[in-house]
Chain A
Amino acid sequence: MEAKSKKAGGSRLCCLCNLRRPVLKRPKTLQQICRECFYEVFEEEIHQVIVQNRLFKSGERVAIGASGGKDSTVLAYVLSELNRRHNYGLDLFLLSIDEGITGYRDDSLETVKRNEVQYGLPLQIVSYKDLYGWTMDEIVKMIGLKNNCTFCGVFRRQALDRGAALLKVDKLVTGHNADDIAETVLLNILRGDIARLSRCTSITTGEDGPIPRCKPFKYTYEKEIVMYAYFKKLDYFSTECIYSPNAYRGFAREFIKDLERLRPRAILDIIKSGEDFRIATTTKMPEQGTCERCGYISSQKWCKACVLLEGLNRGLPKMGIGRPRGVNGDHRKETKKLASAAKSIESKQCGSLDF
């Protein structure tokens, strides 16, 4: 691939169609190509991923986790386009979560509402208040800024699933891209989480649960998503989560950007490594039951959200964060795991509030 790009360096024409002037250097391959060819390879790659991995069946009701951010906006646009073009036969709609963060969601929800009109996709909004009885602002008021990321991660992770269950969908798709997955692989190595390492590269997860989730952007580079949104002039909203002061994950993100600069293929190579790691099937995942309180999948008596909610409702907001106390408290180890699991989720979602 690199060879081609080097040769293309001197030429005046797009190295794919040989007709038009190249306007961009494709981040994934460094090929100099024209806008039309970029759209085509970008969309076609995603189509191939969908077909080869049999992500959907005709007639399925599919929710697109929509945050108004670039990943989910481009995903909504491309999916509705491919659904039309290749007759997937999917019943697509946008699913948005309103966390109740003043100033943040107001703007991004406006963006999603515009997308609803622009792409002709129906929109459903489910709020934290609906799901949990608390808005994020109320939670922060209660616990202060320090521990909020535990809540951010746990609540947001479950919110989409809960919203999807509420709306009786067959599948949930999210905009996690190749950079996100590569980052997750690295973070799981850094924190020694072999169980998560073994499944974080799966394109579909939760197949045994009520609603499978899949990631059509698994091999799509973040830069190309930005580029696509830029050239297509897609309307998206971009901001950092105002409640995310974490720094740790920043190292891994920065490292991946440096790697990409040196060797674009490295992102795909990390994902390949993640897929190829020899992990014994027995270590894969702890057995999962359901939460006694809400029925959500959980390896504990109560799921993480219920533990956190119990704390909030009883006025002990630190419950479930770090030190074990309360309902799962007798399982010392497990509760610790909870905290670390929450941390692993915060990785992407807190940074950009993007699904």
Chain B
Amino acid sequence: MACNSSGCESGGCYDREKENGSKIVEDAVVGVCVKCKCNEPKTFGDGGSDDGKFCAECFRNNVFGKFRLAVTSHAMITPSDNVLVAFSGGSSSRVALQFVHELQIKALKNYEASRDRSLPVFGVGVAFVDETAAFPALSMETIDAIDWIRSTVSNFSPPAKDLHVVPIESVFGSDSLDPRDRLVKLLDSVPDDTGKEDLLLHLKMLSLQKVAFENGYNRLVVGSCTSRIASHVLTATVKGRGYSLSADIQHVDARWNVPIVLPLRDCVRQEITRLCLLDGLKTVELACRSQSGINDLVSSFVALLQEENPSRECTIVRTAAKLTPFYFNKIPETDDSNVPMATQRRLKRFNLKYDGSMTTEAFCPICNGPKNRSDSSELDTFDESQESDALYAACCSSCRFQILPEDGSSLEQFGSFLPDHMISQVKHQKVHSQNDLREKIKDCLLLDDEEAV
């Protein structure tokens, strides 16, 4: 059976070809690309089921096509946008950066070719979060990584891209006295290892949001691929975060100040890795801290499943995609006519179903996950004048368990270490709910402002 397939490399075929006296290609690949039917297929030798079926060009077009479809069908990037790409140095965000760059080059060409020059070219910036404060042992590697990132970003062809190196402790704001120390104390007061890891991730997102907002970006591109999202689906499930899960895995997540978009959501890690190989894209992985918690256990579980069935990751993400998204899982509607008609039409075609009855009122101040009613109902039993109680009541049940310290006094201290942004969310939760309620009924309100109430 294998002998009929174009990419067969087994010794049996090879020998037979030889005996037949037919011409042998250097790497023993026979046949042509199944897509274009003319180029020589590319063999990556990574054990993938489609390895050796497509030529390099068709493979690349396919991956880029998925990226572009995600971008256009969800209006992730429009001409007037200013886009910040979160770049960790890893392969996914490297590919995201590359693709966004290519999109920008195309937009530039179109701009220069068009007569009226009506569509501007969107801007691109790059952000790297420096986590040295949390991992002092990685300080040397991080310095090298930043040097490398700087040269990578400056080597892109114009338009030039700004690079923002963001120390993670910048979440505490510029007026914080010793932000590094505060970060260490904050992390140290989290008893659970997985909780600590997750808190750091939340802080990282917050610092990206901060730098994006302060520098006038209106989109944050995150390079999460299908494989990454599949792991997230399982970790969220295992942590009891089933309710908020559907908020995290959509193409667009606009619950933040600066909406997050995931253009590589439909590409698997193997494709990303191959693309890096093909394009000679260099990456840098900062030596991963030893993981021993839930997240790591899930990763190895997913790897095992993937071995058993190479399409498992996709199935997992497809399951989660059937969950009902939230009202904020789309680019907020603006009445700006900058969104081209074609995009508007496409958006209609991909129209996601929104169940109005399922919108939530409150978000967890730590993970920013929408809270289920069952989480909120427990709120009644606490005295909210007590600040630590208010924090406890405002958090989702998952953060309560794995991030908040257990006893009252350390909880109070923990609250004092948290970024002011998170704490202010606790205080303004009631105001937020009001706004969210308003959002739900706004089509029936006759006046635009609060005064009507």
Encoded as 1 (CB less than 8 Å from any A CB) or 0, chain B from 267 to 299 comes to: 000000000000000000000000001100100
Considering only CB atoms, which chain B residue lies closest to A248 in the complex?
Answer: B308
CB of A258 within 8 A of CB of B315, answer no
Identify whether the interface residues of A are mostly helix, strand, loop, or mixed.
Answer: helix
Given A185-B237, A191-B315, A259-B238, also A278-B293 (CB < 8 A): no
- CB pair B301 A279 closer than 8 Å: no
For residue B90, CB closer than 8 A to chain A, the reply is no
| B324 within 8 A of partner (CB) | yes
A222 within 8 Å of B by Cβ?
no
Q: Take A3-B406, A248-B308 as given contacts and tell me if A192 and B294 are in contact as well, using a CB distance cutoff of 8 Å.
A: no
A278 interface neighbour in B305, B318, B319, B324, Cβ under 8 Å? B324
The answer to whether B323 touches A277, judged by C-beta atoms less than 8 angstroms apart, is yes
- CB pair A279–B240 under 8 Å, yes or no, is no
Tell me, yes or no, whether B116 is within 8 Å of chain A by CB.
no
- In the bound complex, do residue A251 and residue B243 qualify as a contact, i.e. CB atoms below 8 Å apart? no
Compute how far the CA of A192 lies from the CA of B323 in the bound complex, rounded to whole angstroms. Answer: 11
Known contacts A2-B406, A3-B407, A280-B324; is A190 also within 8 Å of B294 by CB? no
A276 to B240, CA, bound (A): 9
Smallest beta-carbon distance A53→chain B, Å? 15
- B residues 232-255 with Cβ under 8 Å of A? 233-234, 236-243, 245-246
* Contact between B323 and A190, CB atoms less than 8 A apart: no
Query: Using Cβ atoms and an 8 Å threshold, which residues of chain A touch B246?
Result: 277-278
- Chain B contacts with A in 383-411, Cβ cutoff 8 A: 397-398, 401, 406-407
- CB of A132 within 8 A of chain B? no
| Among A192, A266, A279, residue most surrounded by chain B Cβ atoms (within 10 Å) | A192
What separation, in Å, do the CA atoms of A193 and B261 have in the docked complex?
Answer: 27
Say yes or no: is B322 at the interface (Cβ < 8 Å to chain A).
Answer: yes
Interface residues of A in 247-277 (CB under 8 A from B): 248, 251, 255, 258-259, 262-263, 265-266, 268-270, 272-277
Bound Cα distance from A5 to B241, whole angstroms: 24
Report whether A190 and B316 are in contact in the complex, using a CB–CB cutoff of 8 Å.
yes
Complex contact B243–A194 (CB within 8 A): no
Please state if A277 and B240 are interface contacts (CB–CB under 8 Å).
no
CB-nearest residue of chain B relative to A271? B240
Chain A residues with CB below 8 A from B228, complex form = none
Q: Say yes or no for B312: interface residue by CB 8 A criterion.
A: yes
> Is the beta-carbon distance between B236 and A273 smaller than 8 angstroms?
yes
Which of A185, A192, A248, A262 sits near B297, CB closer than 8 Å?
A262
For chain A, the count of residues having a C-beta within 8 Å of the partner chain is 34
Asked, given contacts A189-B319, A272-B242, whether A255 binds B301 with beta carbons under 8 Å apart, the answer is yes
| A263 to B245 Cα, complex, angstroms | 20
Q: Which residues of A contact B318 (CB under 8 A)?
A: 192
Digitize B360-398: 1 where CB-to-A-CB distance is under 8 Å, 0 elsewhere.
Answer: 000000000000101000000000000000000000011
Q: B305 to nearest A CB, angstroms?
A: 6
A259's contact among B294, B320, B323, B353, by CB below 8 Å, is which? Answer: B294
Q: How far is the CB of B297 from chain A (nearest CB, A)?
A: 6
Q: Of A2, A186, A265, A268, which one neighbours B237 at CB under 8 angstroms?
A: A186
A288 to B407 Cα, complex, angstroms: 51
Nearest CB of chain A from residue B184's CB, rounded to whole Å: 23
Q: How far is the CA of A278 from the CA of B370 in the complex (A)?
A: 12
Tell me which residues across on chain B come within 8 A of A277, comparing CB atoms.
Answer: 242-243, 245-246, 323
Contacts A278-B246, A279-B323; is A269 near B312 (CB within 8 Å)? no
Given contacts A192-B318, A273-B237, A277-B323, contact A263 B294 (CB under 8 A): yes
Query: Is B15 part of the binding interface, using a Cβ–Cβ cutoff of 8 Å?
Result: no
Q: Which B residues are CB-close (under 8 A) to A192?
A: 315-316, 318-319, 322
Chain B residues near A (Cβ < 8 Å)? 194, 233-234, 236-243, 245-246, 293-294, 297, 301, 304-305, 308, 312, 315-316, 318-320, 322-324, 353, 355, 358, 372, 374, 397-398, 401, 406-407
Q: List 5 A-B contacts (CB under 8 A).
A: A186-B237, A192-B322, A262-B297, A265-B401, A273-B238
Known: A2-B406, A273-B238. 13 other contacts (CB 8 A): A189-B316, A192-B318, A251-B301, A255-B301, A262-B293, A263-B294, A265-B401, A269-B238, A272-B242, A272-B397, A276-B243, A277-B243, A277-B246
User: Interface of A with B (CB < 8 Å)?
Assistant: 2-3, 185-186, 188-194, 197, 248, 251, 255, 258-259, 262-263, 265-266, 268-270, 272-280, 283
